[in-house]
Amino acid sequence: MPFHFFKELLSLVYPPYCIICEIPLVEGESIICTRCTIDYTHGNTRLYENHIKEKFLPDQPLIRADALCTYTKKGGMTKLVRKVKEDKAIAEKVGRHLGLLWAKHTTNPPINMVVPIPMHHTKLRLRGFNQSTALARGLAHSIGKPLVTSFLKKKVNTEEQKKQTKEQRYRNQKNAFAATGNGPSIKGKHILLVDDLITTGATLKAVGDVLLEEGVAHLSVATLALTI
Ligand SMILES: [Zn+2]
């Protein structure tokens, strides 16, 4: 297949437009144009160093926690977060982008596997796909680590949390996740958890607690956006 034809096919799946402002991308840009990168990700071409550990997960054995950008209700990132929820192909592509940025820095000990935050099966049926899994798939591909989706499940369909207080969210999420007993052994491993958006950290804490109970030694976190 001639390369230009392949490229055209590819552009049908991944249109070469900035997914925030929708202007055409130029050579060297991928997914988000340079202007939006400056406006919404603080001009960082690497992951945004943040306070996930201090603010949300002080008692977890966290090695590294990164967010691509900070998220405010009026910012352009709302568009990116929405598109990732709506479009599996975009979510995977953004995940690959995250993975390329993640891979610029090494972690010690190295990551053993990539695990997305699971979605309850009722919600999954309704939505069609789990955006965290799509992000994690792209990320795992970029960093060359296995994606593991069989180990965890969300057993409680937690209600919409937007209007709840931090305490209510923690209470709801606390027992919402469980290990399935399936998948590879995670004992002593370093797991990279992937989610699309961190708001209170309640979900990450709940999932982290389940993994630690199952013998995971270290956790890291990669997320698309972090609310401030
Ligand atoms: Zn743009």
Residue 45 has pLDDT above 50, yes or no: no
Helix (H, G, I), strand (E, B) or coil at 104: coil
**pLDDT surpasses 90 at 149:** yes
* Position 124 confidence tier, pLDDT thresholds 50, 70, 90: very high
Residue of higher predicted confidence among 217 and 165:
217
**Residue 40, pLDDT above cutoff 70:** no
pTM higher than 0.85 for the full model?
no
Most confident of 27-36, 75-84, 132-141, 154-163: 132-141
> pLDDT tens across 109-121, in order?
999 999 999 999 9
Q: Can you give the residue ranges of every domain in the chain?
A: 1-40, 46-227
Report CA(209)–ligand 1 centroid distance (Å).
38
Ligand 1 being an ion, which residues bring their Cβ within 5 A of it?
A: 18, 20-21, 33, 36
What pLDDT digit, counting tens, does each position of 168-208 carry? 777 777 789 999 989 889 999 999 999 998 888 888 999 99
Q: How far apart are CA 152 and CA 1, in angstroms?
A: 41
Does 137 score more than 70 pLDDT? Answer: yes
For domain 46-227, the question of CATH label 3.40.640.10 is answered with no
Rounded distance from Cα 31 to ligand 1 centre (Å): 8
- Report pLDDT for 117: 96
Do 135 and 98 contact (CB within 8 A), yes or no? yes
Tell me the pLDDT tens digit for each residue of 71-98: 777 767 788 888 899 999 889 988 988 8
Report the mean per-residue pLDDT for the chain. 83
Give the CA radius of gyration of the chain: 17
Distance 143 CA to ligand 1 centre (A): 25
pLDDT in tens, 150-174: 999 999 887 655 667 777 777 777 7
CB atoms within 10 A of CB 37: 20
Name which residue leads in pLDDT, 5 or 156: 156
Q: Give Cα separations from 154 to 6, 78, 86, 124, 175 (angstroms).
A: 39, 25, 20, 11, 9
CA of 36 to the centre of ligand 1 (A): 4
Dihedral over Cα of 13, 17, 21, 26: its sign? positive
Amino acid identity of residue 135, one-letter, is: L
